[in-house]
Amino acid sequence: MINKLACLSIALLASSAAMAASGESSDPASELPVTQYEYGMELDIQKVISVTPKPDTCDVVPATMIYVDSHGDTQRLDYRAMGNCLGG
C-alpha cells in the first residue's frame, strides 16, 4: 500500500513538473486571449470576475482584469496601474 502511494506521489510530481516545463497552467485565465488596454479604449464589461491585487509600491505595475462582456464571453484585459503607495 505504501509503495502504491509513493509511486502515485512521484507520478503526480512528475506530471506537475512536466506541465510547468511545458508552460501549461491549470489557471483558465492564462488560456484567454489577452487584450492590452490603451487609453480611451471602450470596454464592454458586464461582470468583473477578478482583478489583480495591487502591491504596496509607489510604482506603476502590470495588472489584469478578467471579465464577462455583454455577449457572455470571458475576456482578459492587461493594463498598468499605480500600486498602493503607502507613505511614499
Specify the range with the lowest mean pLDDT, choosing from 8-22, 34-48, 66-80.
Answer: 8-22
Cell matching residue 32: 484567454
Same domain, 47 and 63: yes
Same domain, 62 and 81: yes
Same domain, 57 and 84: yes
Structural domain count of the chain: 2
Same domain, 77 and 38: yes
pLDDT at 84 > cutoff 60:
yes
Same domain, 2 and 18: yes
pLDDT for residue 88: 57
Instruction: Specify the amino acid at residue 66.
Output: I
Same domain, 53 and 69: yes
For residues 77 and 41, the answer to whether their CB atoms sit within 8 Å is: no
pLDDT at 6 > cutoff 50:
no
Question: Which domain, by its residues, includes 57?
Answer: 32-88
pLDDT tens digits for range 21-70: 445 555 666 789 999 999 999 999 999 999 999 999 999 999 999 999 99
pLDDT for residue 7: 39
